Homo-oligomer: A and B are copies of this chain.
């Protein structure tokens, strides 16, 4: 499986879908700015790889009208809306995103709020274009997972003032990060099999949950690769406040991912996450000295890097 080729194809489809949903006026450039050039396309890649693993179909997804193509763009567009709103001054107040000005810094606040709202609606439009008997069920699960009891609740926990206990941090990561990843895996599975198996479905939800938490824990670790840590960061970064539980949970999640991907023969899916784990391992390894200063523990990074190394090559 050629990830570079898959990513290029996802980007091509994303451009076509962006064109489909955008108004023919000045505001189109704001939607384009927020979506292109795309990030890693991690969630669309997860959806595609699950499709390849279950449908054993190598070609279909090159067509932008295929169910999994529409799903992939809908996930990326939904993700983009959360980033635009997250960056707003009253939220995380970030001036930069992916090496360029955040949408509100570039175009203004009301423009960023409306662009986010527009993309959020548009992600449901793309889902509703999926020609499959599973479409209503998929929209139901996705809107539940990403709504007030799901992703939004995770953002609420994130922004709430008080210092978080370890179970709250786990809950926050599960809601804010795992839910969208679970949507990618679960919806792609439903679209790729004629008779979805209930136990497989549950396993895939578990897989998505742990992948999201690994994603976030490794990201939190990378955040420590700078000399000065912000107050918000020191409040929410689990590695600063709960070093051992974080270490143990990360190991446990990596094990679960390893086990479940083997059990269901998710070879394409593994290629995607291995690329991701490998990149993370490199980032952490490059920042080892600075990160270890913040952790005040020099015996914890090496086992993590070794584990990532073993798993990403398994």
Contacts and interface: CB of A to CB of B under 8 A. Distances in A.
A110 B139 CA distance: 26
A136 interface: yes
Nearest to A150: B121
B91 A152 contact: no
A6 to B, nearest CB: 27
A303 interface: no
Interface of A is mostly: helix
B109 A90 contact: yes
Given A110-B90, A113-B91, A147 B121 contact: yes
Contacts of A22: 148-149
Interface string A31-55: 1000000000000000000000000
Given A27-B148, A113-B90, A125 B108 contact: no
Nearest to A155: B114
Interface string A8-22: 000000000000011
Contact of A140 (B25, B110, B125): B125
B148 A119 contact: yes
A196 interface: no
A265 to B, nearest CB: 31
Interface residues of A, number: 45
A245 interface: no
A122 B140 contact: no
| Tally of this chain's copies | 2
A179 to B, nearest CB: 11
A34 to B, nearest CB: 11
A121 B143 contact: yes
A120 B147 CA distance: 8
B140 A113 contact: no
A153 B23 contact: yes
Nearest to A147: B121
Contacts of A128: 136, 139-140, 143
A135 interface: yes
B129 A140 contact: yes
B147 A125 contact: yes
A121 B146 contact: yes
B136 A124 contact: no
Given A113-B85, A113-B90, A114-B155, A21 B147 contact: yes
Contacts of A144: 125
A124 to B, nearest CB: 4
Interface in A122-168: 122, 124-125, 127-129, 135-136, 139-140, 143-144, 146-150, 152-153, 155-156, 159
Closest 3 CB pairs of A and B: A90-B109, A121-B147, A118-B148
